[in-house]
Chain A
Amino acid sequence: MKYQFQVVVSLKPGLLDPQGKAIEGSLPAMGWANASNVRVGKYVELVVDAETEAAAISQVDEMARRLLSNPVIESYRIVASSPSLRFEDVP
């Protein structure tokens, strides 16, 4: 069975995010002076072929932890295509 996932990787709070900062600096120039806390992360889509949903989730979790994110500087969130498979932020 194939399961689709989205993995969102974010820089941990407190770490400098130059892209977010640059975007935040550009917004007022375009007339939006009320936007703040801009942070840029990564978005990864993938499909996993596994026996069960649980096996697919556990595999994606491991992939997110070991490759898609660096736990020293980033946190990640896994979103599955089925609403029942929403994960909380993993520190």
Chain B
Amino acid sequence: MSAGTPRVGVVTFPGSLDDRDALRAVALMGGDGVPLWHADRDLRGVDAIILPGGFSYGDYLRTGALARFAPVMDEVRAFADRGGPVVGICNGFQILCEAGLLSGALIRNRQLRFVCRFVNVRVETSLSALTEGLVPGEVLRIPVKHGEGQFTARPDDLARIEAEALVTFRYCGPGGELDDEHNVNGSAGSIAGIRNSQGNVAGLMPHPEHAVDPDVGSTGGQPLFASLLAYALARV
């Protein structure tokens, strides 16, 4: 299908906010951004899928709870089952957790406030569609903006997530230090993002799509898009 340029689909749900930024980031990093629609069952032959940030379905019931029943999600699940790369950012991460494609859940921030600022995250593994080209220990500066980003999971799930090295990113200090002060929302283990066992499905609360353009701040999100594009290309 694609010849050298991976096609990355970005799903727009009612209430998605960051779909346009995600498409723009894909294009800036050399991919073809393909808009996908929640009510369609057509993935338009994409090589990777991004579920973007926002407030799908007004966050009714629970964040991400209703989006997982959108028609396009059947196709996203089948795509993920075939090994296709699927990345959820912020609300997209919440949707992947609700859909059972990733473990755990995102609950209200520990400090009870919406948080909107740059944070540092430490790369924990290179075994995922988002981190394949990254070196564990590397620190990236990426913004967060969420009210419900505190990662939690059942104790046995949390133990498995750590034992199987499913954590992709942790909130940290500028030098990579892990402590309570830098845990921006009180997440278990300072977890900012996780992957599934295969690594083709990954979710994170920080927004790499807002950190790709040097004209508007940090470029900490660039390596994540570079990884996703390379991961997708390798499977075309």
Interface residues of A (CB under 8 A from B): 15-18, 21-22, 42, 67-68, 70, 72-73
List of A residues within 8 angstroms of B104 by Cβ: 72
| Shortest beta-carbon distance from B115 to chain A in Å | 13
Total A-B contacts with CB atoms under 8 angstroms apart: 32
Interface residues of B (CB under 8 A from A): 61-62, 65, 69, 97-98, 104-105, 107-110, 112, 150, 152-154, 157, 186
Given contacts A72-B105, A72-B152, A73-B152, contact A18 B65 (CB under 8 A): no
A22 touches B105 (CB 8 A): no
Ordered by A's residue number, 5 sampled pairs between the chains whose C-beta atoms are within 8 Å are: A15-B152, A16-B186, A67-B69, A70-B62, A70-B65
Bound: A58/B97 CA distance, A: 25
List of B residues within 8 angstroms of A15 by Cβ: 107, 152
Given contacts A15-B107, A15-B152, contact A21 B65 (CB under 8 A): no
Given contacts A70-B62, A72-B152, A72-B154, contact A18 B112 (CB under 8 A): yes
Bound: A15/B150 CA distance, A: 11
B61 touches A67 (CB 8 A): yes
Which residue of chain B has the shortest Cβ distance to A11 in the bound complex? B107
Which residue of chain B has the shortest Cβ distance to A21 in the bound complex? B112
| Shortest beta-carbon distance from A18 to chain B in Å | 4
| Shortest beta-carbon distance from A13 to chain B in Å | 13
Bound: A67/B150 CA distance, A: 21
A70 touches B105 (CB 8 A): yes
List of A residues within 8 angstroms of B110 by Cβ: 16
List of B residues within 8 angstroms of A70 by Cβ: 62, 65, 98, 105
Candidate in B98, B110, B112 with the most chain A CB atoms within 10 angstroms: B112
| Shortest beta-carbon distance from A45 to chain B in Å | 14
List of A residues within 8 angstroms of B98 by Cβ: 70
List of B residues within 8 angstroms of A67 by Cβ: 61, 65, 69
List of A residues within 8 angstroms of B105 by Cβ: 70, 72-73
Bound: A18/B65 CA distance, A: 19
List of B residues within 8 angstroms of A42 by Cβ: 61
A73 touches B107 (CB 8 A): yes
Bound: A18/B108 CA distance, A: 7
List of A residues within 8 angstroms of B69 by Cβ: 67
List of B residues within 8 angstroms of A16 by Cβ: 107-108, 110, 150, 186
| Shortest beta-carbon distance from B196 to chain A in Å | 16
| Shortest beta-carbon distance from A88 to chain B in Å | 20
List of B residues within 8 angstroms of A68 by Cβ: 61
